[in-house]
Structure formats: C-alpha cells, structure tokens
Amino acid sequence: MKRISQKKVWLAVMIAALMLFTACGDGSDDTEPTGSDIPDEEMGELVPDLTFLSSLPEANMVNYEMSQEVAEELQLLGVNAESQPMDFAVLLDVLYGDDSDYDAYTIGWSGRIERLDPDMFIHSINHSDNANPGGNNTNRYRNPEFDEIADAQRREMDIDARRELVFEAQRILAEDVPKITMYSRANMQTYNKELFEDVINIPGEGLFNEWTPFSIKPLTDETVLTVASNVNIDDMNPLSSISVYGWRNLRLIYDKLVRLSPTIEPEAWAAESWDVVDDTTIDVVLRQGMTFHDGEPVTVEDVKFSYELFIDENVEYFGSFLTPIDSIEITDDDTIRFNLVEPYAPFITNTLAQIPILPMHIWENIENPVQYTNEDAIGSGPFKLERFQTGEELVLSKFDDYFEPVHIDGYIFQIFASPEGVLTALELGNVHMVSYDLVPSHTEQIENNDGGRYDHLELTEGDDIGFFYIGMNLDRKPFDNKQFRIAMAHLVDYDLALDVHLNGYGARGGGGLTIVEANEFWHNPDVPIYDTYDPERAREILVEAGFTWDSEGRMRMPVE
C-alpha cells in the first residue's frame, strides 16, 4: 500500500514537471538530440513511420521479440516504429504479394541441404532479377556490381574460382547491408540412449533423416522406435504430399534410384549403377531382385512409369527436377535411359535422388492419381506402411525382403499438439526420438537433468546453415539510405537473441551476413561485419550521414 502512495506522489510530481516543461519548452534548446540549430522547416522530411512485420510469438518467439526490440530502439532514436505480429501465411502473402506493401520484417531461411550450395543465398535472394513482386529478393536490393558477381559464380564451373566470387559477393553484401541477420539456430535434438544406439545426425535434417532408420540399433527388447513430431503430416500419396514430414516418411516407404549419403554424396541405391553416356544421356542400371511390399518384382517398367507419371501429372513439388527430361526409354531388362533436353548438372543428386519408384501394377489403374488417397501405400522401400491415423500416428514395420539390413522392427511416427507433450512423453520413455528442433527451454531442461529425470536422453547438436533476419524494403525511405541500414545493424542486440532468447543454442548474426560460418567451405571469414549492438554508434553514424532531429526530437532524413 505504501508503494502505491509513493507512486502516486511521484506521478503527481511528474505531471507537474511535465506541464512546466511543456509550458516553457518551446524556447529551451536542451531538447536532445538535435545537435543543430537549424529550424525544423529547413531540415529534411520526417523519417516515415515504420512497421516491422513479424511472426506471431508461437510461430517464432525470437523473431517476434527481436522485432519489438528493434522497433523500440528506433523509437528511442525518434522514429515512429512499431512491430506488427501476424500469421505466417499472411506475412508471406504480404512479402510475395503484388502490392509489395511493407517497410521491414523479420523472417528466416531454413538451412536445407541443397542450400549448402551458395547459389540460393547469393543469387536467388539478392539478385536484382528477383527484386520484383513474387521474387525471392524481398529486400528489393539492386546493385549492378553485385549482380555481375552473382551471375558469374553461377556460371563458374571451377570450384576454387567460384569460391573467390562467392567470397567477393559476401564482401559486398556485408558492406551494403541489404538485410540484417539476427541469429542462426542450432539443431538441438534428442533420443533415448538407453533403448537405442547408432543414430546419424545430418545438418539441416537432424536425427530423423534417411539414414538413422538403417543404422539405429535397439539395445533392449523395445525394437520399435517411436519418433515424436509436433508437426502434422498430410497424406501418403507421393504425387500430392507436400509437407516436409510427409516426405521424410514417404522416402522410407518408397525407394529411390539414388540416395544422398550422410555427407551429401550421391550413392547408387535402388540403382545398381549409373552411367553418364554423354551430356544429355544417362543410363541407369536397376538393382536386381527387389520386390514391392506386395511381393511383385520391381522392374524397369515401374521406374519408367513412375518418372513419366510425375511428369504427366505436373507434380509441382518436383517440377524443376523433371523439366530437363526429354524422354525415357528402356534399353534392356535392367537398364533405363534418360534423354535430357539440355545438360543438367544436378540430375543425379536431385532428380534421381528425389523421385520415388511407384508400383505400376497399382498406379496404372488409378483414374486420378493426384487425388488418390493411397491409404495402403505399397512401395519397395525399407519400411511397410501399417497404418496412418490422421493427426495421430503413422505406423510402419520393417520390410523383411529389403536388400539392406534394418535393425529395428519398425517405427511409429507420433504426432503431438505441443512440444510440452513431447517432453513428458520423452521423460516417461513413451517416445524415443524427436524429429524437430527442441525449444530452447527443453534443451536446457534436458541438459540440466535435474534429479536425473533425463538420464536416459542424449542431446545431439547440429549447426544450421539457415538464418533469421530483419528484411528491409530498399524501395522505401529510409531503408534506401545505406547509412541508415548500417545504423540499424547497430540497433540489433545479437547477444540478446542468442544468449537470452535461444539460451545460447545457435550462432550470432550480423549486418549483411548471408552464408553463415556453419557452411565452412563457402563462408568468407575475412569480411568485416557490423555485428555489435551499439545504439550510440548508430546515432553517430546517422549524424554523420546527415540525419537530423527536429525540435520535437523526431528524426528527419538528410537534406538532398
């Protein structure tokens, strides 16, 4: 109670002071931080009001928080800035929509395996060709000098020369700061080490990848692995499934000609071998003796049929991998020839490693394959589908006639409504592995292991090559001003994002940082990056760049 009255007195004093202040405020020149005695009218125009779009807290807590922080920092500098959280779909709609109506935003690029190649992060998101509505350059960054290098690295076949170009591109980005990377998240996952051993951790994919199901071994008589997910999976039809986790399961039911090894090298799998006859002709020899889960043999006809089905049905998910194919022919009992329209370097690693082999004897009779429910999916992969209970679980058992040994009897992919439920299930031993990145608090709880509750769990860590950033619309004021962007890079508290919001599980960001350290080969370590949180320095940069503050303390653009 005493506190209240004190507060009230304070409030009264403050109000009185404020009134006094405003009453004689006009004449006084101690209104920091003008630093100039130019009358308002002669200053540049006001820095426009800025809205920072962000995810909702539950979608990405860190982005949500950081977006608020930056808006608050700008307010302190006399800019009318606010953060506006919104649904992810709506956010994408705004960023990729025709109107391009946004000032700034927080979002991220996930570190998928194919993005180890720098083309996506250098070219697709920074080249001016993509700086139009619908394009990936949502920062609207346009720099002819940069464009040239980005194009050159794409054409350069010599890897060391290409590396030089990519390094140079990173230098320009760090200088121009078209966006501000806030942080990268580490892939923290966990599994039950008392029940299972020999898991494989792949960067960007984590524990539940293509290889763990082959390598993992049960240590007890619990021979069925239960994998927890907090993301729903859609359906079991390879032609229509578009969810990431749907595919992570489908690729274990349906086999593929080539699989990418844990070190991302192509490895002949359902294919015995492949032979690049010439630039546009590839021969693939099918492995002998494979059967589908219903006992029918896998033949070259099935392979040809599958690829043609995917092409005919225009499966959007794989469109770019399939367009290079001109025709497919069967040359003998176990050889298929792919004729390409033009040379396509990623044919082996992408096309052959992605398209699943479907049984022709089932799919040729289906009228509308894309709409087919495929409840009893029959493939030739290492696991047979037992049951798919929508929104609950996917149950698979080991396929005994598979050519590679599998040590578990099957696995269950269980879907939870929240990470909280997964942690309880992990603790009680009801699930044995997670398929997603743990929330930072759960990582910490497992690490702290209070009272030995999590003795049976092993944490695994993987670096992510993806990153989360503040994007700015360079078509708009004040982001068209490079110095303003550099000042912005000093307003982001990188340590707060990493140490506080991520509990330290991740990597620091920086202005213009695009290819992160985790991508060792392509990351340029010698580029100076604006990566210190220093609002005072930000103010200095702005002053040097000619930004001024008017009598009401509002920031104004430099006079042109």
Partner 1 sequence: MLNYFLKRLFVMLLMIVLVSTMIFFLFRTMPGDPTAFVVDPSIPPEARQQLLERYGLDGSLWDQYKVFITDLARLDFGDSFFYNRPAIEIIQEKLAATLILMLTAMVFAYTMGIFGGAWMAWRRGSRLESLGITISLIFRSAPTFWVGLMMILLFSVRLAWFPAQGMRTAGTGGGTFAEMFLNLDFLRHLILPAIVAGMYFMATPMLIMRNSMLEVMSEDYIEMARAKGTKERHILYRHAARNALLPVVTAGALFIGASIGGQVLLEVVFSWPGLGREIVTAVTRHDYPLAQGCFIIISAMVMFMNLIADMLYAFLDPRISYN
Partner 2 sequence: MNIATLNKKGNSKSISRLFLKNLKYDKLALIGVVLLIFFIGVAVFSDGIAPHGPRDRHYDEEGSIRRLEPPSLEHPFGTTDVGRDIFSQVVLGTRTALTVGLLAAFLVTVVGSIVGIVAGYYGGWVDTVIMRVVDFFYAIPFIPFVIVLSAVLKPSIWNVILAVSLLSWRTVARLVRSQVLSIVERPFIKAGRVAGAGDLRLMIKYILPNVIPLILLEMAFMVNWAIAAEASIAFLGFGDPSVPSWGQILHIVFSTGNSRVAWWWITTPGVAIVLLLLSIFFVARALEEVVDPRLRRR
By CB under 8 A, residue 57 contacts partner 2: yes
Three-state secondary structure call for residue 521: coil
Q: The tokens of 452 are what?
A: 């030995």
By CB under 8 A, residue 556 contacts partner 2: no
Residue closer to partner 1, measured from CB, 174 or 395 = 395
Is residue 141 within 8 Å of 474, Cβ to Cβ?
Answer: yes
3 contact, one of partner 1, partner 2, none, CB 5-8 Å limit per kind = partner 2
Distance CA 147, CA 150 (A): 5
392 contact, one of partner 1, partner 2, none, CB 5-8 Å limit per kind = partner 1
Q: Could you tell me whether strands 104-109 and 50-55 are parallel, antiparallel, or unpaired per DSSP bridges? A: parallel
Q: Tell me the closest approach of the beta carbon of residue 248 to partner 1, in angstroms.
A: 15
- The CA-atom distances, in angstroms, between 13 and each of 79, 247, 518 are 28, 65, 55
Opening angle at CA 216, ends 215 and 221, nearest 5: 140
SS (H, E, C) 272-330: EEEEEEECCEEEEEECCCCECCCCCECCHHHHHHHHHHHHHCCCHHHHHHHCCEEEEEE
313 contact, one of partner 2, partner 1, none, CB 5-8 Å limit per kind = none
Q: Tell me the closest approach of the beta carbon of residue 390 to partner 1, in angstroms.
A: 6
Q: The tokens of 70 are what?
A: 């930056």
DSSP letter for each residue of 131-193: -STTSS-TT----HHHHHHHHHHHH--SHHHHHHHHHHHHHHHHHH-SEEEEEEE-EEEEEET
- By CB under 8 A, which span of 209-217, 256-264, 388-396, 552-560 interacts with partner 1? 388-396
Residue closer to partner 2, measured from CB, 59 or 113 = 59
By CB under 8 A, residue 61 contacts partner 2: yes
By CB under 8 A, residue 136 contacts partner 1: yes
Which residue in 69, 103, 147, 235 binds partner 1 (CB under 8 A)? 235
- By CB under 8 A, which span of 24-32, 249-257, 326-334, 368-376 interacts with partner 1? 368-376
80 contact, one of partner 1, partner 2, none, CB 5-8 Å limit per kind = none
By CB under 8 A, residue 54 contacts partner 1: no
232 contact, one of partner 2, partner 1, none, CB 5-8 Å limit per kind = partner 1
Distance CA 381, CA 359 (A): 11
Q: The tokens of 424 are what?
A: 């309880």
- By CB under 8 A, which span of 54-62, 247-255, 263-271, 381-389 interacts with partner 2? 54-62
Q: The tokens of 420 are what?
A: 């909280």
Residue closer to partner 2, measured from CB, 61 or 152 = 61
Per-residue contact flags (x/-) with partner 1 for residues 81 to 120, judged by CB under 8 A: ------xxxx-xxxxx-----------------------x
- Map the footprint of partner 2 across residues 93-112, applying CB under 8 A: none
With 0-12 / 13-18 / 19 or more C-beta atoms within 10 angstroms meaning exposed / middle / buried, residue 28 is exposed
- The CA-atom distances, in angstroms, between 442 and each of 427, 465, 524 are 11, 22, 33
By CB under 8 A, residue 38 contacts partner 1: no
In 442-521, which ranges are E strands? Answer: 457-462, 467-472, 506-511
Q: Tell me the closest approach of the beta carbon of residue 210 to partner 1, in angstroms.
A: 19
Q: Tell me the closest approach of the beta carbon of residue 270 to partner 2, in angstroms.
A: 40
Which residue in 7, 17, 49, 297 binds partner 2 (CB under 8 A)? 7
324 contact, one of partner 1, partner 2, none, CB 5-8 Å limit per kind = none
96 contact, one of partner 2, partner 1, none, CB 5-8 Å limit per kind = partner 1
By CB under 8 A, residue 234 contacts partner 1: yes
- By CB under 8 A, which span of 52-60, 144-152, 184-192, 522-530 interacts with partner 2? 52-60
Per-residue contact flags (x/-) with partner 2 for residues 450 to 489, judged by CB under 8 A: ----------------------------------------
By CB under 8 A, residue 500 contacts partner 2: yes
Q: The tokens of 259 are what?
A: 């699989």
Helices H / strands E in the chain, number of each: 17, 23
By CB under 8 A, residue 418 contacts partner 2: yes
Q: Tell me the closest approach of the beta carbon of residue 182 to partner 1, in angstroms.
A: 19
CA atoms within 13 A on the CB side of 383: 27
By CB under 8 A, residue 85 contacts partner 2: yes
C-alpha torsion angle, residues 419, 425, 431, 435 (rounded to 10): 10
The residue type of 504 is: G
By CB under 8 A, residue 155 contacts partner 2: no
Eight-state DSSP code of residue 116: G
Question: How much of the chain is helix, strand and coil, in % rounded to 5?
Answer: 35, 20, 45
Is residue 105 within 8 Å of 83, Cβ to Cβ?
Answer: no
Which residue in 33, 44, 86, 175 binds partner 2 (CB under 8 A)? 86
Q: What are phi and psi of 190, to 5 degrees?
A: -155, 155
- Which residues contribute to the site for partner 2 (CB under 8 A)? 3-4, 7-8, 11, 56-58, 61, 64-65, 68, 83-87, 90, 418-420, 423, 439-442, 445, 500-501
Residues that bind partner 1 (CB under 8 A): 87-90, 92-96, 120, 124, 134, 136, 224, 226, 232, 234-235, 237, 240-243, 314, 316-317, 319-320, 370-371, 373, 386-387, 389-393, 395, 412, 414, 416-418, 421, 424-425, 427-428, 430-431
